[in-house]
Amino acid sequence: MKVDVLTLFPEMFAPVTGSSILGRAGEKGLLYINLINIRDYSSDKHSKADDTPFGGGPGMVMMAQPLFDAIRSLAAPQEAGLDTPAPAGRRPAGRRMIYMSPRGRLLDAALIRELAAEEELCLLCGHYEGVDQRVLDYWQFEEVSIGDYILTGGELAAMVLIDAVARFIPEVLGSSESVEDESVYSGLLECDQYTKPRSYEGLTVPEVLTSGNHKEIALWQYENSLALTQSRRPDLLRAYLEKEPELSKAEKKILQKVVAKPPL
Ligand code: 4FL
């Protein structure tokens, strides 16, 4: 997968591109992060990339010109000219364009899965008060939010998206780590975890986990996940119950027991 990132601060991505898992994915050719410094495309002699908003108000707005030129440099040549609009149903830049923005669709497991299936993505990181709307309209940007809060810029949000999406690319994770087993992806929160020693200053590990009885352990973990999900994320539990998960007889019994209990 190739991810083009349009940013005013490409150096902010170094910890992500150099991290152990994503760095390895880059070296193996599984993930290519193409950092594009928007300023490099400014036609202004001082490389200006932002200006004051029409209509007044605080802050600065990222200008259309540097962004249009940066995006044109990515787009397929036949789609790159403004005089030849993209054919109906075709993406103007030939790929999904994503503007990291608190106005957008909330990033969740479903969206991450969807994006991981793409060959190429382009992420735009905003700063200041935002981006000239003509950029978002013309290039058909989708807006994606990582939560209801404002950051100092879209870069951290883009890194969150890249990290979460990369884990779905086959071979990015080691064989011992499976994406599908995990909490939100199965629909339930992850169960409690323990490691050695069995007793630490008198604090003990639930006995079943050290019993060696794999069936009993799996059932304890299932019950623990269900109970946690019910008390912390009743919204997730409702969605899980609606999806009619494939369950064994023993699991169904546990599900009935947990659901019958009022939440903690
Ligand atoms: C982007 C916040 C996505 C949450 C400032 C600029 C943001 C953000 N999700 N804050 N972009």
pLDDT one-digit tens code per residue, 217-256: 999 999 999 999 999 999 999 999 999 899 999 999 999 9
Distance 250 CA to ligand 1 centre (A): 44
> Residue 120 Cα, ligand 1 centroid: separation in angstroms?
22
Prior bond of 197 cis (ω within 30°): yes
Give the tens place of pLDDT for each residue, 6-36: 999 999 999 999 988 999 999 999 999 999 9
Which stretch of DSSP H or E encloses residue 106?
strand 96-106
Render the burial of 192-231: b for 16+ CB within 10 Å, e for the rest.
eeeeeeeeeeeeebeeebeeeeeeeeebbbbbbbbbbbbe
Q: Which atom of ligand 1 is nearest to the CA of 107?
A: 9
String of DSSP letters for 114-166: HHHT-SEEEEEE--TTEE-HHHHHHTTPEEEESSSS--SSSHHHHHHHHHHHH
Name the segment(s) of the chain with CATH classification 3.40.1280.10. 2-176
Predicted confidence band at 85 (pLDDT cuts at 50, 70, 90)? Answer: low
Residue whose Cα lies nearest atom 1 of ligand 1: it is: 101
Digit-coded pLDDT (tens) for 93-112: 999 999 999 999 999 999 99
pLDDT tens for 112-125 read: 999 999 999 999 99
Pick the CATH number of 2-176 from 1.10.30.50, 3.40.1280.10, 3.30.56.10, 3.40.50.720: 3.40.1280.10
Q: Ligand 1 pocket: which of 8, 12, 150 to mutate (most atoms <8 Å of CB)?
A: 150
CB 12: neighbour CB atoms within 10 A?
17
CB 47 within 8 A of CB 16: no
Domain with CATH 1.10.1270.20 in the chain: 181-260
Query: 52 alpha carbon to ligand 1 midpoint, in Å?
Result: 20
204: confidence class by pLDDT, cuts 50, 70, 90 = very high
Ligand 1: which of 9, 12, 99, 100 to mutate, most ligand atoms within 8 Å of CB?
A: 100
Ligand 1 neighbours, Cβ below 6 Å, are 100-102, 126, 145-147, 150-151, 153-154, 157
Residue 189 CA to ligand 1 centre (angstroms): 26
pLDDT mean across residues, the chain: 92
Residue by residue, DSSP assigns 163-214 as HHHHTTSTTSS-TT--STTSHHHHTSPPPP---S-SEETTEE--GGGGS--H
Query: Rounded to an integer, what distance in angstroms lies between the CA atom of residue 228 and that of residue 84?
Result: 54
Query: How many Å lie between the centroid of ligand 1 and the Cα of residue 253?
Result: 43
Going from the Cα of 204 to the center of ligand 1, the distance in angstroms, rounded, reads: 42
pLDDT the model gives residue 178? 66
Q: Residue 235: its pLDDT value, please?
A: 96
Note the CATH number of domain 181-260: 1.10.1270.20
| pTM of the full structure | 0.90
